Amino acid sequence: MHFSSFIIATAAILPTALAQLSGKVGPLTSHATKTAKKTCNVLNYGAKADKTTDIGPALLSAFAACKAGGTVVVPAGDYAMKTWVTFEGGKTWALQLDGIIYRTGTGAGNMLFVRNANDFEMFSSTGKGAVQGNGFEDHKNGKRDGARLLRIEKTNNFSVHDIILVDAPMFHFVMSTVTNGEAYNMAIRGGDWGGLDGVDVWGTNIWIHDITVTNKDECVTVKSPSQNILIENIHCNSSGGCAIGSLGADTAISSVTYRNIYTWKSNQMMMIKSFGGSGYVEDMRFENFIGHSNAWNLDIDQYWASMKELAGDGVKLSNLTFSNWKGTVANGAQRGPVKVVCADKAPCTDINIEDLAMWTETGSKNTYQCRSGYGKGFCLKSGTGGAYAATTSTQTTAPTGYSAPSMKEDLKTAFGTASSIPIPTMQASFYPGVAPVSKLAGQ
């Protein structure tokens, strides 16, 4: 719904990024129109805001009444959820979550699962609607294979916005095989442990913006197959960081832009990760990255030790541009700001690193590592060619212009895995000095 007006307002300054989208995104019908047609309040279908009664059956009943056109409303209040809900096949409908849903069930799967929908919108009118997954109850016992909080699958023309997702037992938000979607104005808070992804997406023509993620795995990550995806104004706040992958057989990812990405105390600012496999990642831009206290900054690793080697020569990376990266890395001697390690049997080509100025917070040295990578910048070789062994270069003076602002919402201490994670209020901005594209709900 917002794509056309955004083009008019900003086409003059963002032509490259906007080109990543291939058309309009979001629902075809406003939620006001859906609400005017029919409203299905879960309180009329057996739900109770008592934090005890299972809201699952009421959600299903309300959906059945509104799935052909209307709005399912969860009013303000505290609700328990013991059984998970699959919203199958709805058209021209909305889910208005103004209350807080607390997980009380123990099953795996997806607490809220929207599948095969068209013209769909999930939102909070107040910006206070939330799902509290209470994942710590699993995590403190060493378990992280429980429920995902929200999954949107095989759905067209949709949006999810102004929602808060907290402490998923497993993943927080997955968009799988989706088209013409928009996700924005969201806060995601998870435990400090791998396997608790923030936002995972694969699909076509998707706009993700103005989201903050706390966890220790994927912040906002694109997976295969994907094309025409724009991701901007993202705050990875003590997280795993953004990524492409991990990549496997027949990878097909193209025309993706990440811009205005702020990363604090995370595993990396951006990682492209694979080990073997096949296919391609091409025509990508990574613009306006700010980072502080991250283990890695720009990290291309096609021999990623955290995954099992797959059959194939490797995923071919080509026409990737990294521009305007500022800030610091935690320890530039141990993990330098630039690591480009490409597959020997499928060397990277046209990897361009422009205006990257980052310095170390520990010591007085940066190292840069390249292997089988071609392009411009740092230790990359020019032109094209075959495999070459890893080379390193060293920088012992701080680069000009590396200083970058920080955000007041940066967490001094990450959330653990043994106690409840509080539900946050929505922050006013998700990248230094940049207002959200769409006004936050309730403000």
DSSP string, 13-39: T-HHHHTT--S--S-SS-HHHHHHH-E
Please report the pLDDT score of residue 245 as a whole number.
Answer: 97
**What is d(CA 182, CA 35) in angstroms, rounded to the nearest whole number?**
20
- DSSP E strands in 147-214: the ranges are 148-153, 156-161, 164-166, 173-189, 199-214
192 has a pLDDT exceeding 60: yes
Tokens 């991990």, residue?
246
Those residues with Cβ within 8 angstroms of residue 13's Cβ, 6 or more apart along the chain or in another chain: none
Q: Which helix (H) or strand (E) holds 367?
A: strand 366-371
Q: Grade residue 380 by pLDDT with cuts at 50, 70 and 90.
A: very high
Q: What is the pLDDT of residue 16?
A: 44
Q: What is the DSSP letter of 439?
A: P
For 35, counting Cβ atoms within 10 Å of its Cβ (0-12 exposed, 13-18 middle, 19+ buried), the class is middle
CA separation for the pair 253, 204 (Å, rounded)? 10
pLDDT of residue 17 exceeding 70: no
With cut-offs at 50, 70 and 90, classify the pLDDT of residue 104. very high
Does the pLDDT of residue 73 top 90, yes or no?
yes
Q: Identify the active-site residue in 31, 139, 209, 292.
A: 292
What is the distance between the alpha carbons of residues 136 and 421, in angstroms, rounded to a whole number? Answer: 8
| 8 Cβ contact list (under 8 Å, min separation 6) | none
User: Do 23-214 and 239-410 come out as alike in CATH topology?
Assistant: yes
- Look at residue 310 and tell me whether its pLDDT is greater than 60: yes
Rounded mean pLDDT, 121-147? 97
State both tokens at 47: 């739900």
What is the pLDDT at residue 443?
86
Q: Does domain 23-214 have CATH number 1.10.286.10?
A: no
pLDDT given for residue 15 in this prediction: 42
Cβ within 8 Å of residue 347, ≥6 positions away: 372, 373, 374, 384, 385, 386, 387
- Residue 290, pLDDT > 60, answer yes
Residue 191 to residues 1, 106, 135, 179, 312, Cα–Cα distance (Å)? 33, 18, 8, 30, 35
Is residue 301 part of the annotated active site? The answer reads: no
Task: Name the residue ranges covered by the structural domains of the chain.
Answer: 23-214, 239-410
Enclosing H/E stretch for 365: none
* CB-based burial label for 220 (10 Å; 0-12, 13-18, 19+): buried
At 2 the pLDDT is 42
User: Quick one: pLDDT band at residue 19, thresholds 50, 70, 90?
Assistant: low
Tell me how many degrees the CA angle 97-195-140 measures, rounded to the nearest 5. 85
Residue 137 · residue 102 · CB < 8 Å: no
Q: Which CATH architecture has domain 239-410?
A: 3 Solenoid (2.160)
Contact 237, 409 (CB under 8 A): yes
Q: In this structure, how many other beta carbons lie within 10 angstroms of the beta carbon of residue 412?
A: 6
Q: How confident is the model at residue 144 (pLDDT cuts 50, 70, 90)?
A: very high
3-state secondary structure of 438: coil
pLDDT in tens, 37-57: 999 999 999 999 999 999 999
Q: How far is CA 119 from the centre of its chain?
A: 22
> Is 355 an annotated catalytic residue?
no
Helix (H) / strand (E) containing 360:
strand 348-360
Model pLDDT, residue 111:
98
Does residue 315 contact residue 277 with C-beta atoms inside 8 Å? yes
Structural tokens at position 52:
């005890």
Proportion of the chain above pLDDT 90, given as a percent:
95
Catalytic, out of 119, 200, 210, 217: 217
The C-alpha atoms of residue 393 and residue 378 are separated, in whole angstroms, by 8
The DSSP bridge partners found for residue 369 are 339, 392
Facing residues of 18 across strands? none
Rg (CA), the chain: 22
Q: Are 347 and 318 in contact (CB under 8 A)?
A: no
Q: Is the pLDDT of residue 1 over 90?
A: no
Q: What whole-number distance in Å separates Cα of residue 89 and Cα of residue 67? A: 8
Percent of the chain with pLDDT over 70: 96
What SS3 state is found at 423? coil
